[in-house]
Amino acid sequence: MPENSNYAVAIDGPAASGKSTVARRLAERLGLIMINTGAMYRAIAWATIQRDIDASDTAAVLAMLDDIEVTCGVNDGTSTILIDGSDPGEALRADDVNSRVSAVAAIPEVRHLLVEKQREYLDLGSLVMEGRDIGSVVFPDTPYKIYIDASEEVRLARRSAEGLTDVVSKRDEEDSKRKTSPLVVAEGATVIDSSEMNIDEVVDAAMETLREQGLNI
Ligand code: CDP
């Protein structure tokens, strides 16, 4: 744990497992800052589109990283990200970002840059941070780790209910197979399978899990 008493709650899981909603609700209930790390990888993918760079061309992506300013902050209790001072907004959820974000996220230097920024957030206060490698890589020492899962069928249905045509299974495969920080159930994490649960039930289960993991709430 860091020298100050701030702590991180790590929420990991595959695409469309409901982890963002659960993380947001937990942060509200516990009065913690909510950090969406997927948005950070999405913002880098978005920048490659703006500059017409092939997301799988590592050298080109790295040259771009040298050239852009990535600013991470917090607004109203939630993480924000600016690329050269601009907020990509809703464009982060667009199909062209969905289809290239996993390639960008597989580049070790991209991960290194963003993981540093993710760890710095702990200086601002206690956090709920959601992503793929929070319990395994970003904050491996935190005792508070939850992995939210759901069947592929349920996850696809959730995405299409949001009106999105996201290729979740393709992203999951890429995220699980990559060499650097693949999607895994982190050591010490408790798995919650949300396939048959509504959101309130998942949040209650997550609160109970955090109590079992020793969080005084
Ligand atoms: O919300 P959704 O599950 O669709 O994905 P996201 O959390 O916005 O993450 C988008 C993509 O960013 C993932 O498919 C991963 O490729 C990457 N990512 C990652 O590699 N590590 C993280 N900590 C968070 C996201």
Nearest protein Cα to ligand 1, atom 25: 38
> Looking at the domain assignment, is residue 57 inside a domain?
yes
Question: Cβ(46) to ligand 1 under 6 A?
Answer: no
Question: Cβ(37) to ligand 1 under 6 A?
Answer: yes
> Looking at the domain assignment, is residue 113 inside a domain?
yes
State in Å: Cα 179 to ligand 1 middle. 15
The whole-number pLDDT of residue 143 equals 98
> Looking at the domain assignment, is residue 217 inside a domain?
no
> Looking at the domain assignment, is residue 152 inside a domain?
yes
Q: In total, how many domains does the chain have?
A: 1
> Looking at the domain assignment, is residue 114 inside a domain?
yes
Q: Which atom of ligand 1 is nearest to the CA of 102?
A: 16
> Looking at the domain assignment, is residue 178 inside a domain?
yes
Nearest protein Cα to ligand 1, atom 15: 102
CATH number for position 50? 3.40.50.300
DSSP for the chain, please give it.
--SSS--EEEEE-STTSSHHHHHHHHHHHHT-EEEEHHHHHHHHHHHHHHTT--TT-HHHHHHHHHHS-EEEEEETTEEEEEETTB--GGGGGSHHHHHHHHHHHT-HHHHHHHHHHHHHGGGTS-EEEEESSIIIIISTT-S-EEEEE--HHHHHHHHHHTT----HHHHHHHHHH-SSS-----TTPEEEE-TT--HHHHHHHHHHHHHHTT---
pLDDT in tens, 29-61: 999 999 999 999 999 999 999 999 999 999 999
> Looking at the domain assignment, is residue 2 inside a domain?
no
Question: Cβ(136) to ligand 1 under 6 A?
Answer: no
The whole-number pLDDT of residue 164 equals 72
> Looking at the domain assignment, is residue 3 inside a domain?
no
Nearest protein Cα to ligand 1, atom 11: 38
Domain that holds residue 166: 8-212
Average pLDDT, the chain: 94
Binding residues: 13-21
Asked if residue 1 has pLDDT above 80, the reply is: no
